Amino acid sequence: MDKFIITGGNKLFGDVTISGAKNAAVAIIPAAILADGVCRIENIPNINDVSIIARILQQMGANVKMVNKSTLEIDPRHIVSPVASYELVHQMRASYYLLGALLGRFSRAVVAMPGGCDFGVRPIDQHLKGFAALGADYSLEGGVVNVHADKLTGNNVYLDVVSVGATVNIMLAAVKATGLTVIENAAKEPHIVDLANFLNSMGADVRGAGTDVIKIRGVTHLNGTCYSIIPDQIEAGTYMVAAAAAGGDVTVRNVIPKHLESITAKLEEMGVVVEEYDEAVRIVRDGPLSKCNIKTMPHPGFPTDMQPQFAVLLSIANGTSIVNESVWDYRYRYVEELRRLGAQISVDGKIAVIEGVRELVGAPVKATDLRAGAAMVIGGLAARGATQIEDIEHIERGYENIVEKFQALGADIKRISVLEQVSAKAAL
Ligand code: EPZ
């Protein structure tokens, strides 16, 4: 019920430090289920999706301890049942990684169908196809996926679509299977590589992560480990776009610039200056923005998770830009909200046509999902006047301390509880 209130128009200046990657953390935390000892995971982002997945493991019997604000220790040895309940699982998409992890450990998994952002149909057929190739049977009844194998045996799996989730789940199920599993047409996202590095640090034998062929030779035992998660590429991209949209000079720290190449290339095409350092990028924008076209693709293509944020930037660029969303069936629910700020966008299926306008003007809007919510924040920062964003729980699922980080860059943004708003009105 809480809201963000933003008064736009301030340019952004200074440094912002990026947290650990959400989409790596939500794969690595369930992967710890496969260990025969304690896993210490560092650079964990302090976000709701991480708390939920950690709570699910705890509820299943794991010892989960927050050692400090970004380090989590998981001792999974007390998990005795391969069942994950609906109550927490339905709150997030990545809870489907419990399927692969529990299957890998117990040869059985019973997990409610996951929730998460609504981009139209989100099938898991490729995950199930992978489990079946390893020798598992599955059924889907009453909203629960039930997977079972007498014995998991390595095999070749060709993914019909490049799927991050299916690649992760098959890796998790195969890592302790007998023999060799080869995933072809695998996803190549940085968090796939991070998961492979985590598993290898436990004693797994995973090769080729980051290419489209991943080979996993099963091992019988995985030990506990200590591992630090990579920085969040999408959080970094979001601050880069925010600096470009509001204008100013911002250094985004704790990043791997190579992971940001597709974002950097598009910003440069639009006339934004991007300087790359070893672990930082500096964004400078004081001139006009030029139109550009974007097509979302699996990594290393332009990430779908940056599409809504870029739509805001294109809304204030000179000229007409075309966005082609080729990953998800429908990822334009936010467009109606962006129009409230004065953006001129028309959508036809997977294509959005954006006519740049001179300025956006603040208005009340909603965060329709996580990245859509980030786009609303950027819109509010760039707009003239006040923007009020509702449904911010979507944003807080994936961005650590977003209000504080933007305030430190000079933005006029605050989080208010609805109670505060009611008492402020009463005082008038
Ligand atoms: C991951 O979702 C990310 N989530 C998403 O980020 C991201 O948008 C997406 O990858 C694409 O990059 C996490 O990592 C937790 P997919 P995932 O399986 O794994 C189709 C964010 O904002 N498909 O790669 O669920 C599917 O319909 C989130 O941080 C099948 O057809 O995505 C889609 O069109 C939101 N069958 C395409 O593949 C399947 O079995 C890519 O989906 C699986 C997927």
pLDDT digits (tens, 9 = 90+) for 297-321: 999 999 999 999 999 999 999 999 9
Task: Report the alpha-carbon distance of residue 56 to residue 54 in Å, rounded.
Answer: 5
What phi and psi values does residue 258 have, to the nearest 5 degrees? -60, -35
Type of residue at 53: I
Share of the chain above pLDDT 90, in %: 88
Q: Considering only CA atoms, which residue is closest to atom 10 of ligand 1? A: 164
Give residue for tokens 């057929």.
Answer: 125
- Return the pLDDT at 141: 85
Closest C-alpha among 341, 342, 363, 345 to residue 354 = 345
| Closest ligand 1 atom, residue 126 Cα | 40
Q: Considering only CA atoms, which residue is closest to atom 31 of ligand 1? A: 123
99 alpha carbon – ligand 1 mean position (Å): 16
304 alpha carbon – ligand 1 mean position (Å): 9
For residue 43, what pLDDT band results from cuts at 50, 70 and 90? Answer: very high
For residue 11, what pLDDT band results from cuts at 50, 70 and 90? Answer: very high
- Return the pLDDT at 317: 98
Q: Considering only CA atoms, which residue is closest to atom 30 of ligand 1? A: 123
Q: Considering only CA atoms, which residue is closest to atom 43 of ligand 1? A: 124
| Closest ligand 1 atom, residue 124 Cα | 40
Task: Report the alpha-carbon distance of residue 368 to residue 38 in Å, rounded.
Answer: 38
Looking at 88-92, 231-235, 297-301, which range is the least confident one?
A: 88-92
Which residue from 295, 327, 329, 394 has its CB within 8 A of the most atoms of ligand 1, so it is best to mutate?
327
358 alpha carbon – ligand 1 mean position (Å): 34
Task: Report the alpha-carbon distance of residue 21 to residue 237 in Å, rounded.
Answer: 12
Active-site residue list: 117
Type of residue at 116: G
Mean pLDDT of the chain: 95
Q: Considering only CA atoms, which residue is closest to atom 34 of ligand 1? A: 328
Q: How many residues does the chain have?
A: 428
> pLDDT by residue (tens digit) across 394-419?
999 999 999 999 999 999 999 999 77
State yes or no: pLDDT of 192 exceeds 90: yes
Closest C-alpha among 204, 195, 207, 194 to residue 224 = 204
Q: Considering only CA atoms, which residue is closest to atom 19 of ligand 1? A: 165
Which residue from 125, 138, 164, 324 has its CB within 8 A of the most atoms of ligand 1, so it is best to mutate?
164
| Closest ligand 1 atom, residue 26 Cα | 15
Determine how β-strand 386-390 pairs with β-strand 364-366. Answer: parallel
| Closest ligand 1 atom, residue 94 Cα | 15
Q: Considering only CA atoms, which residue is closest to atom 7 of ligand 1? A: 305
289 alpha carbon – ligand 1 mean position (Å): 30
Q: Considering only CA atoms, which residue is closest to atom 21 of ligand 1? A: 305
80 alpha carbon – ligand 1 mean position (Å): 30
- Return the pLDDT at 2: 94
- Kind plus residue range of the DSSP H or E element containing 138: strand 137-141
Query: DSSP class of residue 291?
Result: P
| Closest ligand 1 atom, residue 23 Cα | 14
Task: Report the alpha-carbon distance of residue 174 to residue 218 in Å, rounded.
Answer: 6
147 alpha carbon – ligand 1 mean position (Å): 21
C-beta separation of 382 from 8 below 8 A: yes
Task: Report the alpha-carbon distance of residue 84 to residue 65 in Å, rounded.
Answer: 19
- Three-class secondary structure assignment of 112-124: ECCCCCCCCCCCC
Q: Ligand 1 pocket by C-beta < 6 Å: which residues?
A: 23, 26, 93-94, 117, 122-127, 161, 163-166, 187, 304-305, 327-328, 370-371, 398
State yes or no: pLDDT of 213 exceeds 90: yes
* Token digits of residue 94: 């990545």
- Kind plus residue range of the DSSP H or E element containing 181: strand 180-184
| Closest ligand 1 atom, residue 49 Cα | 15
- Return the pLDDT at 116: 57
328 alpha carbon – ligand 1 mean position (Å): 8
- Span 126-133, mean pLDDT? 96
E strand residue ranges, 245-385 = 248-253, 273-276, 280-285, 294-295, 320-324, 344-348, 351-355, 364-366
Residue 173 CB burial class (10 angstroms; 0-12, 13-18, ≥19): buried
Task: Report the alpha-carbon distance of residue 42 to residue 149 in Å, rounded.
Answer: 33
- Return the pLDDT at 253: 98
What are the angstrom distances between the C-alpha of 290 and each of 173, 274, 301, 303, 418?
46, 15, 21, 20, 39
Task: Report the alpha-carbon distance of residue 104 to residue 108 in Å, rounded.
Answer: 8
- Return the pLDDT at 114: 72
Looking at 139-148, 248-257, 331-340, 363-372, which range is the least confident one?
A: 139-148
164 alpha carbon – ligand 1 mean position (Å): 6
| Closest ligand 1 atom, residue 125 Cα | 40
- Return the pLDDT at 73: 98
